[in-house]
Amino acid sequence: MVGVGEGRPAVNSGAAALDWRASLKRERTFLGISALLFLVSGWLTIDKCRSMAGGMPMLGGWTMSMAWMRMAGQTWLAAATSFMGMWTVMMVAMMLPSLVPVLLCYRRAIRGQPDSTLGRLTTIAAAGYFFVWAIAGMVAYPIGVSLSAAEMRSLALQRFVPLATGILLLLAGSIQLTPWKARRLMRCRHAPVCAPASRTTPAAWKHGLCLGMDCSLCCVGLMIVLIVTGVMSLPNMAVVTAAITAERLACHPERIARVIGVVIIVSSLLVITRAVG
């Protein structure tokens, strides 16, 4: 009896060690694929932004982004398709650093099945997440095109754009300071997962959609900053990506969000003062 009792911990310890090594191997593969996807999407984003650098100088000292313009001989369908491709790749590069920890939590919740199933469900959840961001791009594009067309027709509207930019930045910074933002941020950091129910394809897709909805709502203020300051600007994109990642991964996310909000508000006041002056 003593021998059997003494042998059990050894067997359990060995099984636990094997399970830990297998788990570590799975996560290394996942992290490696995520890193590769981030590098590829980042490179494609940089290449696309460089090819669309510049824009049209407008009255009031600002420049209209090429993202809202058609190329010579390009149809609206082709222009929209090009924008959506650029937007989706850009979202992968911007959001993947903050999405990976959430997907790791999801993988831990549904662990205990073949690697192929785990990878498939993770991919489906990520696809649902970026599908929501693609929908956001589909909403943003016609709005941007319509506003750009109106600005090109109206000199008065062109003069008003710098002031409107400052006002929108003020709004974006104010959103960062609200309790609503803090609640959304906590939902993004601690997305609930029902492990048994999440081991099916529809549940994984639904989980990804929920992640995307929470994330897109949480990022409303920062995405306003990106769009009004230049959606194709690499420096602006890098700053917004760093802000999103910092407030998702920091120990005190609500403090980081408030600091970011104060910085945006101060910048907005400078823009408004310059526009009025």
What helix, strand, coil percent values describe the chain, rounded to 5? Answer: 85, 5, 15
Instruction: Encode pLDDT of 19-73 as tens digits.
Output: 545 555 668 889 999 999 999 999 999 988 887 766 777 777 777 877 788 777 7
Domain boundaries, the chain: 2-53+60-276
Beta-carbon contacts of 272 under 8 Å, excluding residues fewer than 6 positions away, are: 163, 166, 167, 170
Instruction: Encode pLDDT of 185-217 as tens digits.
Output: 988 877 665 544 557 889 899 999 999 999 999
The residue type at 220: V
Q: Which H or E run contains 65?
A: strand 62-65
Joined tokens for residue 62: 């600002």
Instruction: Encode pLDDT of 69-120 as tens digits.
Output: 877 777 888 888 989 999 999 999 999 999 998 998 888 888 777 778 888 9
Instruction: Encode pLDDT of 126-140 as tens digits.
Output: 999 999 999 999 999
Joined tokens for residue 210: 């929920």
Q: Largest Cα–Cα distance of the chain, in whole Å? A: 92
User: How far, in Å, CA of 39 to CA of 93, rounded?
Assistant: 8
Nearest residue to 211 (alpha-carbon basis) of 84, 118, 112, 122:
122
pLDDT at 4 over 60: no
Nearest residue to 67 (alpha-carbon basis) of 273, 262, 228:
228
